[in-house]
Amino acid sequence: MSFQIRVHNTVADIGRDAWDACAGPTGDPFVSYDFLDACEASGSAVPQQGWAGRHLALEDEDGRVIGVMPLWLKAHSQGEYVFDHSWADAYERAGGRYYPKLLDAVPFTPATGPRFLSHPDADAATVRETLIQGALALTERLGASSLHVNFPTREEWEAMGEAGLLRRQDIQYIWRNGGYQTFDDFVSALSSSRRKTVRRERREANAGLDIRVLTGAGITEAHWDAFFAFYQDTGARKWGRPYLTRDFFSRIGATMADRIALVMAFRDGAPLAGALNFIGRDALYGRQWGALDEVPFLHFELCYYRAIDFAIERGLSRVEAGAQGDHKIARGYLPSPVYSAHYIADPALRGPVADYLERERPAVEAEMRAMAEELTPFRKTGD
């Protein structure tokens, strides 16, 4: 069978029906047409912000799209959560040009998910292999320094290693549902000291506040106005410039409301803080959060404990609370591996990076094991 790969500047050029015929069966909200189109159409992930779409669509001999790949020509390494700044600095000090580079990822979203999306009627392995080769060919054609695939599934990560890409591993903190029927069931599985701490944190965070979990039609533009203010405040304090525009939130509110759980805290009827979650087929994904006032433990309540509550209620298997933060371990979110894969065109840079990653992977695995053993919040026999 013959295939053709076309390069498109926006997911809208490919179209909702063709894109979601490949992305929809995954159940992943972030690779859906609605999420990616909101990133682009809102001005959040656009060339002016250093995100130029170069999305791949794989067509069969009849012209039907049987695979897609969200791909970006990047002018910087911001909003990615897999850090290659040191590679870029070293290469440019040596006289190289690291940017532009190609990135297969979901903008501003450190969540593991499929990166090579195939139509259910197509052979997934063939589609993946063809898209990998297409992305490598595009890297060469554009004169990009490198190709990066961030937060793929482990199966994709292993396949990319077989295709010659360099493999990297990092750590995130994920809560897993042990078949709990209630939040108290989960708390009962913790050590005695952690049980007391969690209950105290929840009690103090809820004092004097009205906390609600909103989804579907319950989310209004007024809620998005409030949440955007929270988001801007957090962004300004943490990294200086929030990535997402106000229009982005209106767009996902219009097209994805049933896949959103927006946790909002109110004081005397006025919005005080919020946490945004996306609902997947079997997971809840925590994304942005913010608050207009400091309230002890409110971050833990909105971002971690309410997410656990929601996942238990919906029968979801896990909560992925985003990047970084070993403080999550004490709240039941245990270290788990996340992956990325990298092709670097220039052997002068590829060699040192390959050596570094060979040393980094076992160190990350050892750190993850040590944290799981030494910092576990769950009770042991007799506790």
Residue 157 lies in a domain: yes
Token pair in block for residue 219 = 């989310």
d(CA 61, CA 169): 37
Residue 378 lies in a domain: no
- In the numeric block, the tokens 């929270």 are attached to 230
**What pLDDT, on the 0 to 100 scale, is given for residue 239?**
55
User: Is residue 303 domain-shared with residue 245, that is, in the same domain?
Assistant: yes
User: Is residue 20 domain-shared with residue 162, that is, in the same domain?
Assistant: yes
Residue 321 lies in a domain: no
**What pLDDT, on the 0 to 100 scale, is given for residue 381?**
64
Largest CA distance in the chain: 65
Backbone angles phi, psi at 270, to 5 degrees: -100, 135
Residue 357 lies in a domain: yes
Token pair in block for residue 168 = 């990297």
**What pLDDT, on the 0 to 100 scale, is given for residue 380?**
79
Residue 382 lies in a domain: no
d(CA 7, CA 179): 44
**What pLDDT, on the 0 to 100 scale, is given for residue 2?**
87
**What pLDDT, on the 0 to 100 scale, is given for residue 233?**
83
Give the count of beta carbons closer than 10 Å to the beta carbon of residue 326: 13
User: Is residue 287 domain-shared with residue 366, that is, in the same domain?
Assistant: no
Task: Pick the closest to residue 115 from 63, 78, 165 (CA basis).
Answer: 165
**What pLDDT, on the 0 to 100 scale, is given for residue 325?**
83
In tens digits, the chain (383 residues) has pLDDT values of: 689 999 999 999 999 999 999 999 999 999 999 999 999 999 999 999 999 999 999 999 999 999 999 999 999 999 999 999 999 999 999 999 999 999 999 999 999 999 999 999 999 999 999 999 999 999 999 999 999 999 999 999 999 999 999 999 999 999 999 999 999 999 999 999 999 999 999 999 999 999 999 999 999 999 999 999 999 987 666 555 789 999 999 999 999 999 999 999 999 999 999 999 999 999 999 999 999 999 999 999 999 999 999 999 999 999 999 887 889 999 999 999 999 999 999 999 999 999 999 999 999 999 999 998 899 999 876 56
- In the numeric block, the tokens 């396949």 are attached to 159
Across 57-73, b (16+ Cβ under 10 Å) vs e yields bbbbeeeebbbbbbbbb
User: Is residue 120 domain-shared with residue 43, that is, in the same domain?
Assistant: yes
210 alpha carbon, distance to own chain's centre? 29
User: Is residue 21 domain-shared with residue 86, that is, in the same domain?
Assistant: yes
- CB 29 within 8 Å of CB 256: yes
Task: Pick the closest to residue 82 from 58, 49, 104 (CA basis).
Answer: 104
The structural domain count of the chain equals 2
**What pLDDT, on the 0 to 100 scale, is given for residue 235?**
65
User: Is residue 233 domain-shared with residue 144, that is, in the same domain?
Assistant: no
User: Is residue 183 domain-shared with residue 159, that is, in the same domain?
Assistant: no
d(CA 16, CA 11): 8
Residue 324 lies in a domain: no
CATH number of the domain at 233, please: 3.40.630.30
Full domain range(s) for residue 292: 178-316
- CB 34 within 8 Å of CB 12: no
- CB 81 within 8 Å of CB 150: yes
Residue 23 lies in a domain: yes
